[in-house]
Amino acid sequence: MIFPEKIKIRDVTLRDGLQNEPVFVETEQKINKIKDLISAGFDRIEVTSFVHPKWVPAMQDADLLGQNLPKVAGVEYEALVPNQRGLDRFLKSNINTAVFFLSASTKHNQANLNKSSDDSLAEIKSLVEKTKMEGRRVIGAISTAFICPFAGSVPYSEVERIADNLVSMGVDELGLGDTIGKATPREVYEYCSRLAEKFPDIPIGLHLHDTYGYGLANIMAGIQAGVHLLDVAQAGLGGCPYAPGAPGNVQAGRVVEFLELQNIKTGLKLEQLKQLDHSFSHLLRETKASTKTVQSL
């Protein structure tokens, strides 16, 4: 088995890490954390989601944040875009890449987006075209690519069908999500290797949750299968509001330490990641305490 010398790591703390939190982190504090992430070596950061704030209050400042991101050469910002209204907002931002998402499981897609997976594909097609016309990058992200919290195992054939559609639309990259952390290394290797073989010119990313402790094993399975990109979050924060049993993403520091012990470089500074674990946890504790104080007045 040949291992790569280096793997790309993307931070998703500001979006997936915060979306499930019951409190709102102020925009200025988010910008300070983005600067810390860049200092630690991240050059791909998923910063927000252009969803309606009624559904995800933690993302209510997406427009303000998207227009005030630090301008640093070589750093790419990414954001989730759920629909046409979200795209209109995204195109007014300074964010490089739109992430269009749907679920391989129609049951989860219905819970998450209130429509079938096929309906989502039809909508995404026009959104991809408009985004590409504006000269911005596009990622097609497939949630519940292995296991669905409502329907159980998701057949590979369904994941491939959706990936086929996304590639034909012109996405620059594919992402597979183990939304509830139940996928096994065998499933991750099988699905990722088959997609990598079918789409050799399309980079494949892996978004893992560590619900059952399979995260690091699944990372190695993905790397061996040809995955190009791994998502991480500081302090293991995160989760999907519409996926019961998905408490957190794989933790950045643990992933980097695990990979570098095997001589797989990440370009990230491990000591700074350990500090970020504490600073993100502290920020959330302080924000929750402050919110309780205001509510009690």
Q: Which residues of 13-50 are buried (b: 16+ CB within 10 A; e: fewer)?
A: bbbbbbbbbebbbebeebbebbebbbebbbbbbbbbbb
- Is 148 in the active site? no
Helix (H, G, I), strand (E, B) or coil at 241: coil
Ramachandran angles phi, psi of 52, nearest 5°: -65, 130
Distance CA 138, CA 96 (A): 9
How many angstroms separate the CA atoms of 278 and 258, rounded? 19
Closest by CA position to 233, among listed 212, 247, 222: 247
Tokens standing for residue 71 = 């301008």
Token pair for residue 126?
A: 């026009």
Burial of 110 (0-12, 13-18, 19+ CB in 10 A): middle
Q: Which of 141, 148, 159, 240 is catalytic?
A: 240
Residue from 85, 121, 78 nearest 103 by CA? 121
- Report d(CA 160, CA 19) in Å as an integer: 28
E strands, the chain, where?
8-11, 44-49, 76-80, 97-103, 137-143, 147-148, 152-153, 173-178, 204-208, 229-232
Q: Give, rounded to a whole angstrom, the gap between the first and last alpha carbons of the chain.
A: 61
Nearest to 105 by CA among 164, 146, 141: 146
Active site residues: 240
